[in-house]
């Protein structure tokens, strides 16, 4: 009988199990993974061993279970596992594990492997709803997400504590679907050099004051991380944001529109895709004061402003096959304004969002947008997390790139 290749054949998963009652669900996940052909090595934390024995995982995975950094028979396990993994899954992940990962600690085998690896990391939290909602846990989750870690949100339902609320371990189907999508992520940007801008620019008024806008940079960072995961060679040019530079991405920090223009032009020639998600200031103070401006009584003051360079327009003039995508954040006449900018700036595609809509404004973790090209509406993307929108936008760009070939 011919042997049929299973969906996850050849995929190597490091499966970290944390100390939660949901550890028993890890057994079912392990079974599903091996049934699909994945080669899984299990790493248990000390607390996980309080809930379940390593022997169970050893029997199901067909590999010895790793529980100790200092194993004389396998003292390089952390490096071997880190380098060979196609995915690191941590399920269940306790609040303690999430906190230690977010702090970059390497005080046990699992956290050491995570720091030593470049593989995608999927974390499935399991804790009581009150703990999940604690601001410190949420801060740690945010930190991890900003560095590209996938974290599944707990679901609503009955909890081990007897309470009903948020904190329920996600369903096996939801976890498996995330695992499969991470392990089978298309490497469809391998041949692309993607140049992305993100965040606002700051234009100095004097040494302590500046003109800026409300852009957080989240959309541009999400796009950069998504393109990197799909194999792109990435250059991220970022204005001032509170986000952590994504690991492994060539990130150039700039402050002003002129600095952003210079950085973008420097990398434009070798780029194949340019996505200008930055909210570039249109004007800058004519003559920034060298010393702090002093209050001049009660009379009105006015600030003379000069236009900044329009980066996209200057890039279009030098275009040599780059696929160019702009963004338009509008408060009215969304389609008309986006269509005008698409033509005026010589773009291949524009992503337009109405920033007055709840959840689609600056700083939010979600976005809703319409995508247009020279032929009109390409897609109407409803409210969704920016990470998801990044994937959808890259899918749309990929389709156009394929059509150009």
Task: Name the residues annotated as catalytic.
Answer: 213
Number of residues that bind ligand CTP (CB under 6 A): 15
Tell me whether strands 164-168 and 250-253 are parallel, antiparallel or unpaired: unpaired
- Shortest reach from residue 222's CB to ligand CTP, in Å: 15
- Shortest reach from residue 195's CB to ligand CTP, in Å: 12
Strand partners, 354: 330
The Cα–Cα gap between 327 and 342 comes to 9
Q: Does 217 interact with ligand CTP (rule: CB under 6 A)?
A: no
- Shortest reach from residue 396's CB to ligand CTP, in Å: 16
- Which member of 124, 280, 342, 381 binds ligand CTP (CB under 6 A)? 280
Site string for ligand CTP, 304-323 (x = CB under 6 A): ----x-xxx-----------
CA atoms within 13 A on the CB side of 83: 5
Q: Which of residues 241-260 bind ligand CTP (CB under 6 A)?
A: 257
Listed in sequence order, the residues at least 6 apart from 321 whose beta carbon sits closer than 8 Å to its beta carbon are: 272
Listed in sequence order, the residues at least 6 apart from 375 whose beta carbon sits closer than 8 Å to its beta carbon are: none
- Which member of 65, 121, 276, 372 binds ligand CTP (CB under 6 A)? 276
Q: Which of residues 111-170 bind ligand CTP (CB under 6 A)?
A: none
Q: Are 215 and 239 in contact (CB under 8 A)?
A: yes
- Shortest reach from residue 258's CB to ligand CTP, in Å: 10
Q: Does 87 interact with ligand CTP (rule: CB under 6 A)?
A: no
Cβ nearer to ligand CTP, comparing 310 with 388? 310
The Cα–Cα gap between 184 and 194 comes to 21
Q: Does 263 interact with ligand CTP (rule: CB under 6 A)?
A: no
The number of angstroms, rounded, from the C-alpha of 27 to the middle of its chain's C-alpha atoms is 29
The Cα–Cα gap between 373 and 317 comes to 18
Query: If phi over 0 gives left and psi between -120 and 50 gives alpha, with beta otherwise, what is residue 354?
Result: beta
Listed in sequence order, the residues at least 6 apart from 90 whose beta carbon sits closer than 8 Å to its beta carbon are: 16, 17, 18, 97, 101, 110, 114, 121, 122, 123, 124
Q: Which of residues 325-344 bind ligand CTP (CB under 6 A)?
A: 326-329, 341
Cβ nearer to ligand CTP, comparing 188 with 282? 282
Site string for ligand CTP, 160-199 (x = CB under 6 A): ----------------------------------------
Q: Does 369 interact with ligand CTP (rule: CB under 6 A)?
A: no
CA atoms within 13 A on the CB side of 171: 5
Cβ nearer to ligand CTP, comparing 48 with 312? 312
- Shortest reach from residue 218's CB to ligand CTP, in Å: 15
Which one of the spans 38-46, 100-108, 246-254, 324-332 is the region binding ligand CTP (CB under 6 A)? 324-332
- Shortest reach from residue 273's CB to ligand CTP, in Å: 13
Q: What SS3 state is found at 105?
A: coil
Whose CA is closest to 110, among 16, 208, 189, 240?
16
Cβ nearer to ligand CTP, comparing 137 with 312? 312
- Which member of 258, 282, 373, 395 binds ligand CTP (CB under 6 A)? 282
Query: If phi over 0 gives left and psi between -120 and 50 gives alpha, with beta otherwise, what is residue 157?
Result: left
Q: Which residues bind ligand CTP (CB under 6 A)?
A: 257, 276, 278, 280, 282, 308, 310-312, 326-329, 341, 345
């Amino acid at each position: 009988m011919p042997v049929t290749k299973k969906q996850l054949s050849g995929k190597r998963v490091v499966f970290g199990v944390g100390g939660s009652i949901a550890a028993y669900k890890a057994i079912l996940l392990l079974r599903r993974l091996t049934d699909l052909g994945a080669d899984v090595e299990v790493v248990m934390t000390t607390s996980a061993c309080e809930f379940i024995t390593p022997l169970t995982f050893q029997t199901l995975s067909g590999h010895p279970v790793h529980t100790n950094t200092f194993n004389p028979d396998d003292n390089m396990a952390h490096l071997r596992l880190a380098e060979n993994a196609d995915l690191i899954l941590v399920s269940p992940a306790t609040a303690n594990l999430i906190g230690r990962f977010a702090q970059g600690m390497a005080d046990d085998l699992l956290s050491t492997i995570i720091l030593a690896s470049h593989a995608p990391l999927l974390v499935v939290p399991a804790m009581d709803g009150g703990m999940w909602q604690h601001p410190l846990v949420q801060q740690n989750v945010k930190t991890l997400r900003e560095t590209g870690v996938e974290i599944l949100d707990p679901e609503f339902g009955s909890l081990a504590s007897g309470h009903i609320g948020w904190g329920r371990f996600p369903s096996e189907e939801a976890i498996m679907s995330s695992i499969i999508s991470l392990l089978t992520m298309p490497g469809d940007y391998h041949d692309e050099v993607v140049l992305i801008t993100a965040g606002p620019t700051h234009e100095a008024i004097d040494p302590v004051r500046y003109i800026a806008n409300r852009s957080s940079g989240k959309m541009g960072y999400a796009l950069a991380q998504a393109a990197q995961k799909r194999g792109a060679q990435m250059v991220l040019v970022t204005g001032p944001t509170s986000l952590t530079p994504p690991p492994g991405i060539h990130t150039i920090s700039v402050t002003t529109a002129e600095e952003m223009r210079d950085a973008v032009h420097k990398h434009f020639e070798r780029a194949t895709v340019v996505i200008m998600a930055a909210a570039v200031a249109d004007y800058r103070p004519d003559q920034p004061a060298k010393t702090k401006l002093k209050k001049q009584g009660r009379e009105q003051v006015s600030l003379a402003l000069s236009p900044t360079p329009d980066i996209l327009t200057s890039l279009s003039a030098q275009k040599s096959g780059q696929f160019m995508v702009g963004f338009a954040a509008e408060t009215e006449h969304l389609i008309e304004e986006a269509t005008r900018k698409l033509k005026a700036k010589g773009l291949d595609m524009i992503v337009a969002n109405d920033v007055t809509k709840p959840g689609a404004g600056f700083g939010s973790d979600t976005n809703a947008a319409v995508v247009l090209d020279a032929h009109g509406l390409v897609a109407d993307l409803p409210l969704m997390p920016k990470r998801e929108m990044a994937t959808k936008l890259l899918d749309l760009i990929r389709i156009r790139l394929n059509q150009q070939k």
